[in-house]
Structure 1
């Protein structure tokens, strides 16, 4: 083996080592694993009561501002499901340390979300201490949807 050939082998080996050590995320199906899938950007703000419901919903956008020193939220909730869903939602508000503000005082609001629909859900923090939030969504059981009230005279 001549001297030039040995140098070329060493350079080639070093090149493979350097390339192999480079921290490049693998690419699968055209999406790098370091990227978030559509609908995952705001996933940490959405809390659901079951996994099936979680697969049917995602937050597609969040806008926030302060209104009289209170955090105001407008978020876009999008259905990934092709049928209508009867839901309820409530906001939970948290301070800068992650402690819940006014636990249990936020009411549940009814929400009908049609197939593949996006709606805007608005919330206003109950305190100036609020710095972040979560939107809790749950399904309304069918037995409550068909409940009829009868008046007794």
Structure 2
């Protein structure tokens, strides 16, 4: 009985600790849509983390529909500081009805931006029905 109580107490403490952690959200996200098949984008930048925005800024957003019909995207980001800054990013893909394709299935990728460096975060939709994308960027823990 004491062992059971000890295990239950440990489980409650563990669940409480996990429940109290703040969720990791994207600090910045860029949403872009192909308009009438034209790779000229309707682009929206959303910043949720002002600290991240001080260090990392978005320089450009480009996309193209490849010859096989898959959407290719590229977002150029700049490290505004003199120090290395590590980020995570992921692409989310949307169909013509603005419905996310296979939500929750995209993994976070890691990148390190050296001081003053700009890099291009590339993505190719794994789905030919993708007509829009969103890139989420957050600082690495």
Q: Which bracket does the TM-score occupy, shorter chain normalised?
A: 0.5 to 0.7
Structure 2, unaligned runs of 5 or more: 1-41
Which structure ranks higher in relative contact order (CA pairs < 8 Å, sequence separation ≥ 6)?
A: 2
1:47-66 Cα distance to aligned partner (Å, 9 max, x none): 56622112322221222212
Aligned residue pairs, count: 100
Q: Which structure 2 residues correspond to residues 37-116 of structure 1 after superposition, within 5 A?
A: 44-45=44-45, 50-67=49-66, 68-116=68-116
Within 1, Cα distance between the matches of 2:43 and 2:78? 12
More strand by share: 2
Structure 1, unaligned runs of 5 or more: 1-41, 142-153
Q: Which structure 2 residues correspond to residues 134-145 of structure 1 after superposition, within 5 A?
A: 134-141=134-141
TM-score normalised by L of structure 2:
0.61
Of the two, which has the highest radius of gyration? 1
TM-score normalised by L of structure 1:
0.57
CA deviation after TM superposition for structure 1 residue 43, in Å: 7.0
Q: 1:5 matched to which residue of 2?
A: none
